[in-house]
Every structure is written in C-alpha cells, then in structure tokens.
Chains A and B, each alone.
Chain A
Amino acid sequence: DVKVTQSSRYLVKRTGEKVFLECVQDMDHENMFWYRQDPGLGLRLIYFSYDVKMKEKGDIPEGYSVSREKKERFSLILESASTNQTSMYLCASSNPQGRETQYFGPGTRLLVL
C-alpha cells in the first residue's frame, strides 16, 4: 500500500524560529514535492526534487529551503519562520513516468505566532 508520511500533523512555532518539516515515502519514488495550501489559493508548489541531492524551485520558494539526502526522505526548512508562513504543508511523491499520479502525505498544519 502506498504510503507518504509527514513528521507532524500540527505544529506551533514562534516568529524567527527555524522549522523542519519531514516527509518520508516508502514507494521508491524518484520525485518528491512540497506544497502549501491556503484558502482560495489552492496548492502552490514550493520545491521539488527529481533525485537525491537534486532540488528545483517551484512557484513560491522564497523563505524556504529543502534537503534530500536519501531517496525516501525530503525535508522542508523554514529558516526563520514568519506569520505569513502559517499554512497547511503537503508533501507528495511520484514516479517520473507521465501517467503516474502524485501521492500525498496527511499534511502538516503549521501555525506561526
């Protein structure tokens, strides 16, 4: 059974803190993605990765960085959290074949105070 897990379901952090969100997939997928989802704005791509140690900027990379040291793990880092980064963060993975869908983790709801 397909599985994408995220390290936390809910997080509360203070402005200026460094925040780590981790995502692990057990499907041996090559592609991994980080999105944020806000009401009325839909899913917005922050970063994605095609392979270990590879990363590509998405539509809204500012204020974020990522790390992919192992194929199954993709981390999103907020270097200095700000209140406008309060959001639902969703990790997804897929294989590069064109017909492969993306599988989502359960999401992390982050509140920055």
Chain B
Amino acid sequence: QKEVEQNSGPLSVPEGAIASLNCTYSDRVSQSFFWYRQYSGKSPELIMSIYSNGDKEDGRFTAQLNKASQYVSLLIRDSQPSDSATYLCAVNVNTGNQFYFGTGTSLTVIP
C-alpha cells in the first residue's frame, strides 16, 4: 500500500466553481501535511500546510484534516484558470524526517 494516495484525475471544473482535491495516507504517526502546486515544467511550490484536525483557510484555499480517517483535502474556491496545475499532497512522518508524496491530481479550470 502506498504511503500517500491521490486520485490522479484529471479533474475539470468551470471557472468560479469549487475544486475539491483529496488525499489519504497510511501512516498513523504522520504529523504534518502539505499541499503543493506544480505547474507544468516547474517545481512544486507550497500552498498550504496543516497540522491539526479541522479546517485551515488561506484566501481561496482551505485545507481539511481528519486524522481519525487519515484523510486530508484541499478546497479551492472561486477557481481560476491560473489554478490549472497538478496538486501534490505530502505527509511528513517525524521519525526519519522523510516526506511522502502522492502522485498528484491534475486540475484544469475551464474558462
């Protein structure tokens, strides 16, 4: 079983809609959770981090964490064409300081 799993997509949403990206992880001792955005041909850039159960909002982005269900999600409100990218979920397990990345979900926002 993979450490971090994401639906590969592609996910398409119309401009102005809410995009919902989901991620599950297998290691119960995972402590920190991150969402990265990666444009085609570019490197990943951090957009959200979350450490506690519940929601964390930053502008149009909301990260949601449920440790009991081992589930983390990213909501993008009022989606824009510039949000079209691949979104990577990452989990940090304190022991060993390793990060585990999902394979990414490709999002396309249609004007």
Identify the A interface with B (CB < 8 A). Answer: 31, 33, 40-43, 45, 48, 50, 90, 94, 96, 98-107, 109
Contact = CB atoms under 8 A, between A and B. Distances in A.
Interface of B: 8, 31-32, 34, 41-46, 49, 51, 88, 90, 92, 94, 97-99, 101-104
Nearest to A95: B97
A48 B46 contact: no
Contact of B94 (A98, A103, A104, A106): A98
Contact of A99 (B41, B45, B51, B103): B51
Given A43-B88, A107-B42, A107-B43, A102 B31 contact: no
Contacts, number: 52
Contacts of A40: 8, 103
Contact of B103 (A41, A94, A101): A41
The residue in A33, A48, A96, A99 that gathers the most chain B C-beta atoms within 10 A of its C-beta is A99
